Structure 1
Amino acid sequence: MREHFIWVTTRRIKPGTLEEFERAWRPDPYPQGLRHAYAYWSEDEQEIIGVSFWDTKEACDSWRTSEAETRRREVMAPYVIEEREGFYRGRELAVPVR
């Protein structure tokens, strides 16, 4: 099975700011080595989980320490109350066919 490199961020945002936050979240330029990115939010739209899949840990680390990512975080900051993040490695689990 292929190994995945994943960066997960969980952010609590100010009430009523999901739309503005999503505009601020979009990276520019698009990061090198980023394969897929997903966003999931709670029913109250105040907690956002971002899951991104990377070619390598080094590609993710390069983006996380880049000037573009620093600027992106500054633009998101007015909407963010709390943030947690982590980097993980893993594999897809085989789910039995029913």
Structure 2
Amino acid sequence: MEEHFVWVTTRRIKPGTLEDFERAWRPHPYPKALRRAYAYWSEDGHEVTGVSFWDSKEACDAWRASDEEQRRRAAMAPFVVEEREGFYRGGELTVHVH
């Protein structure tokens, strides 16, 4: 199994702020060590989960400690009610269809 390094963040946001949150959420520029990123929204638009794939845990940690990430988090802060996050290692499961 190919190992992946993944950062997952789930944020509950203030009602009616999804559009503003999305503008503040996208990093610019994107980190060089970021390989893929996905975003998932709850049906009511009050919760957003981001899943990002990194070259390594160290690369992810370096981005999280960067000035760019601190500015991005400050821009999101007015819209965020609660945040949960964590770093994971793992890989894709092979699904067998019967």
Q: Give % identity.
A: 74
- Is the counterpart of residue 43 in structure 1 residue 43 in structure 2? yes
Aligned twin of 1:68: 68
Give every structure 1 segment of 4 or more consecutive aligned residues whose post-TM-superposition deviation is greater than 4 Å.
none
- Is the counterpart of residue 57 in structure 1 residue 46 in structure 2? no
Partner of 2:93: helix, strand, or coil?
A: coil
Aligned twin of 1:78: 78
Partner of 1:28: helix, strand, or coil?
A: coil
Aligned twin of 2:18: 18
Cα distance in 2 for residues equivalent to 1:13 and 1:97: 37
Using structure 1 for the length normalisation, give the TM-score: 0.97
After superposition, where does 1:77-96 map in structure 2 within 5 Å? 77-96=77-96
Root-mean-square deviation over aligned CA pairs: 0.7
Using structure 2 for the length normalisation, give the TM-score: 0.97
- Gaps of at least 5 residues in structure 2 are none
Shift of residue 28, structure 1, vs aligned partner = 1.4
Cα distance in 1 for residues equivalent to 2:90 and 2:81: 29
